[in-house]
Amino acid sequence: MKKIVLLLLLLFSNACATQYNIYTGKEELIFMSDEEEINIGKSLSKEVESKFKVSEDFLLQSRINEIGKKIVEFCDRKSILYYFKVLDKDEKNAFALPGGYVYVFKGLLEEVENDDELAYVLAHEISHIVARHSIDLLKKNLSFNILLVLAKAGAPDQE
């Protein structure tokens, strides 16, 4: 049990500081640094780009990048760089990865009627990054796994 407590202390040692979250209006524990989040995002982006082809259409890439960069000028999280890419698939979706990576499928771009609608989509995805939603999900999953380990460690052996 002592080993488990030490492990928990090590896992949460990064969460010693707090940061004000504009979306919840509360001070929240910082689970990982921007640098750690960026590294996770970079790794995940390589995975995404190995599974989906990034569009080679220069005009589409320029359009999404220009609109995305304008939105970032007004966002509340400027401590990271943002990357905007079009994936060459007819799916009608968009998503964000930790650390500033935003992807839009070509099929969604064909559905939006103007740049204002595209800006709405990009702003929505950027808000996930600003609010650290994927990091919060990681925190919740880790907390759940820790509870499972503790429950299993405290359960009597059944033989």
Active site residues: 125
Output b/e per residue, 79-110; b: 16+ Cβ within 10 A: ebebbbbbbeeeeeebebbbbbbbbbbbebbe
Residues 6+ apart with CB under 8 A from 29: 12, 15, 16, 17, 18
Distance CA 149, CA 159 (A): 19
Residues 6+ apart with CB under 8 A from 68: 82, 84, 102, 122, 126
Q: What are phi and psi of 48, to 5 degrees?
A: -60, -45
What is the token pair recorded at 85?
């890419």
